[in-house]
Structure 1
Amino acid sequence: MRFTRRHPLLTAVLLCALAVLAARPADGDGSHAPGHGSASGVSAEVARLYEEAAAATERYEAGRREAEKQRAEGQRLEERLDRERREMAVLHEDLGRIASSQYRDGGGLPLTAHMLLADDPEELMRGQRVVRQAEVSLDKAIGRSERAEARLARDEAKAAAAWKELEERNTELAALRQGIERKLEAARWKLQGQADASVAAGACRGAVRLDQPRTRFTTSWVAPVETYELSASYGSGGARWANRHTGQDFAVPIGTPVRAAGAGEVVKVSCGGAFGIEIVVRHAGGYYTQYAHLAAVAVDQGERVAPGQWIGQSGTSGNSTGPHLHFEVRVTPETGSAVDPVPWLARHGVSL
């Protein structure tokens, strides 16, 4: 306190100098500055657009399935309508044959004259009753068929209208999805540009606090990304690796949320070098998982993470030929101690 009172100007200068030093990133040592970095806006935008694109795709796929269902229903009704019409044509032919038969058998004469001329009037009466019953049955069948045809025609028209409406809505949803994906692609490369700048400087920009998904995992272990294609595997050869590939690569677009494979503590967040932006998490049992070639991080060193928690976003930083997540399982936090992650995950209930 005595020092402050005697030298107020010197104190102000020292405080300013300390503030400047605190604001400077570490010089080329791959260290990680906690807190929100300047990339947070782009990272959050990529994460938001990623979820919007997924939701738009889900709505489009649901609409497409419903449209296919309506189209199939319309086709089914059309086939039934064709059958009804063919049956109607047969019934009309039957009615025509009965009328022709009556005419040939003297249908134009009064029934009394038929009875006088007949050898067996009772047999004639029985024949007349059979004919009338056949006519009545045929008339009823034709009436039912006509009503069924009208009903089917209405149902077919409704199904066709519903299918057309769904097709129009799906066209709109497809356009919406394409618009979101264009924005997402632009934001992804902007995010990657910031990641490349961080790697070149050797200092991460800070954790971006992404809105976590609502899903809560009941399992202890999960795959490090939700949707993926497996690419380079553990132990595979290649010119880009000094010896053999030390992890499992997941081919995913830039900005894809990367998940903690299991509960643990973040022991390393760094930028620079062959792995670009990377995170290492320590788990119970003496194992570590590494997540490399990221575009952004969402956790700080020393932070506890839960299974499935978003800890970063995939990218193509460092020694990378394209967007993917490089995932390793190690027995130490450092490179060179990796084990094959695919059977290791399988033993923990995660099949890739």
Structure 2
Amino acid sequence: MRSLRRHRVLATVLLSAAAVLAARPTAAESGGVGGGDGGVSPASVPVDAGVSAQVARLFEEAAVATQQYEAGRRAADRQRTQARRMEKLLGRERRQLAAFNADLGRIARAQYREGGGMPYTAQMLLADDPDELMRGQRAGRQADLALDKAVTRSRRAEARFAAGKARAATAWRRLEKRNSELGEIKQDIQRKLEQAQWTLQGQADASVAAGSCRGAVRLEQPNPGRTRPWIAPVESYELSAGFGSGGERWSSRHTGQDFAVPIGTPVRAVGAGRVVKVSCGGAFGIEVVLRHPDGYYTQYAHLAAVTVAQGERMAPGQWVGQSGTTGNSTGPHLHFEVRVTPEPGSGVDPVPWLLKHGVRL
């Protein structure tokens, strides 16, 4: 049964400009669709949407900061590799120049031993074959010119590589400094995000303990235009407890698939459907249940906040809430179920069910 009153809450989002977020109370009345799981559903209470919006915004900022940091780190790695390559080339050119200088020394010593210190006219008079001497002299001069050119080229290359090494090293140091700044920004965002996450979880725990379901937090929804007909309930995750697994936390067997995600992670409708239940309390804590056109139901449990109201139509990828650790939960995660009825106990394994819809977890 839908709540009959609506209101808007003007909430100041911490660390950002003021945002106007509309909040509509939602409650699953006793005996309503999908009831009978022990959930408490008295009248809704006003919603402070500020923390939910802050968590969503900080998630985005953290993602951007991480991308910038990783891009900067890759750029620094490229510049460091370039500096090392130029250093190797510079060393090679220096070794070649040293070899050229050694060749010059050997040639000079050979010329001296062969009479290079005697005036050229005297060498001509004393030579057995003056023509051969002249040819040798010409060949020697040509060799000297070639060697001089090679030495000049090597010195130019050395200067060029030295300049390239200096430029690469300067760019590398600049990028390292920028990456250090980005790392501090990223850590600051993470600290703020963690604080906001536990504030959000504290509000959720308080509402569950009081038996007063908070209303829907109206956050800016993603654009569903390019979303596939069926998607995973969260974008980034680690699979934890699976369907049918045993454990002391459950009375018999685990009835869904758990996705380990941080508090406040956007939880998405896996496909088009209608919200048939929003409630808090009981083992599932804050939960949302959707009915899909094929007759199946999907449940999203242990939430910290909901972003929809009972009776709403949902598009694939639209946010139904933010993950948390309410109810019978040992840590932040999303409990996701697929059922043939809205009631607990009619679940099927979500992994092959999603796979049949083209979603591989």
Does structure 1 retain, via aligned residues, the 8 Å contact 2:277–2:289?
yes
For 1:292, the aligned partner's letter is A
Decide which of 192, 207, 213 is 1:204's aligned counterpart.
Answer: 213
Q: Name stretches of at least 5 consecutive residues in structure 1 with no aligned partner.
A: 1-17
CA distance in 1, matches of 2:105, 2:225: 72
Q: Is it true that 1:171 corresponds to 2:174 in the alignment?
A: no
- Which residue does the alignment assign to 2:19? none
1:271 aligns with 2:280: yes
Instruction: Please say which of residues 341-350 and 312-321 is displaced more in the overlay.
Output: 341-350
Distance 1:345 1:66 in 2: 39
Quote the offset at 1:33 in angstroms.
6.5
Q: Spell out the pairing of 1:272-351 with structure 2 (5 A cutoff).
A: 272-351=281-360
CA contact (8 A) 1:70 1:163 kept: yes
Deviations 1:280-319 (A, max 9, x none): 1122212221111000001111112222222210000000
Quote the Cα distance in structure 1 between the aligned partners of 2:144 and 2:292. 86
Tell me which protein shows more helix as a share of its residues.
1
CA distance in 2, matches of 1:262, 1:126: 92
Does residue 151 (structure 1) correspond to residue 160 (structure 2)? The answer is yes
Distance 1:343 1:259 in 2: 18
Counterpart CA distance in 1 for 2:67 and 2:353 is 32
Please name the residue that 1:227 is paired with: 236
Q: CA deviation at 1:49?
A: 1.0
User: For the residues of structure 2 that align with 1:284 and 1:104, how far apart are their CA atoms?
Assistant: 102
- Residues 102-155 of structure 1 show CA distances to partners (whole Å, capped at 9, x for unaligned) of 111111223232222222222222221221111111111111111111111111
How much identity, in percent, do the aligned residues show? 69
Contact 1:33–1:205 (Cα < 8 Å) also in 2? no
Q: What is the CA distance between 1:37 and its match in structure 2?
A: 3.9
Asked if the contact 2:269/2:320 (under 8 Å) is kept, the reply is yes
Structure 2 contact 257–337 (Cα < 8 Å) conserved: yes
TM-score, length-scaled by structure 1: 0.89
Q: CA deviation at 1:208?
A: 0.8
Which residue in the other structure is 1:48 paired with?
57
Distance 1:171 1:53 in 2: 16
| Rounded Cα–Cα distance in structure 1 between residues aligned with 2:115 and 2:60 | 82
Contact 2:65–2:186 (CA<8 Å) still a contact in 1? Answer: yes
Q: Secondary structure at the match of 2:216?
A: coil
User: Is the Cα contact below 8 Å between 1:269 and 1:277 reproduced in 2?
Assistant: yes
Contact 2:39 2:282 in 1 (8 A): no
- The structural deviation recorded for 1:219 is 1.8
Matched, 1:194 2:194: no
Letter in 2 for 1:30: V
Equivalent residue of 2:116, what SS?
Answer: coil
What is the TM-score normalised by the length of structure 2? Answer: 0.87
Distance 1:29 1:225, change over 3 A: closer
> Residue 217 of structure 1 contacts residue 307 of structure 1 at CA under 8 Å; is this kept in 2?
no
Letter in 2 for 1:107: G
Cα 1:76–1:317 change in 2 (3 A) is same
Aligned residue for 1:204, secondary structure, equals coil
Which amino acid is the alignment partner of residue 305 of structure 2? A
Whether the 8 Å contact between 2:69 and 2:183 is mirrored in structure 1 is: yes
CA distance in 2: counterparts of 1:345 and 1:261, whole angstroms: 9
Per-residue deviation, 1:201: 2.5
SS in 2 for 1:145: helix
State the secondary structure of the residue aligned to 1:31: coil
Which residues of structure 2 form unaligned runs of 5+?
7-24, 31-37
Give the partner amino acid of 2:40. G
Task: Quote the offset at 1:168 in angstroms.
Answer: 0.8
- Report the counterpart of residue 31 of structure 1 in structure 2: 41
- 1:72-118 per-residue CA deviation (whole Å, 9 max, x = no partner) reads 11111111111111111111111111111111111122323222222
Alpha-carbon spacing, 1:33–1:307, altered in 2? closer, same or farther (3 Å)? farther
8 Å contact kept, 1:199–1:277: yes
User: What corresponds to 1:261 in structure 2?
Assistant: 270
- Shift in alpha-carbon separation, 1:43–1:32, aligned structure 2, 3 A: farther
RMSD of the TM alignment (CA)?
A: 2.3
Q: What are the within-5 Å matches in structure 2 for residues 16-165 of structure 1? A: 30-31=40-41, 37-165=46-174
Where 1:210 maps in the other structure, the secondary structure is coil
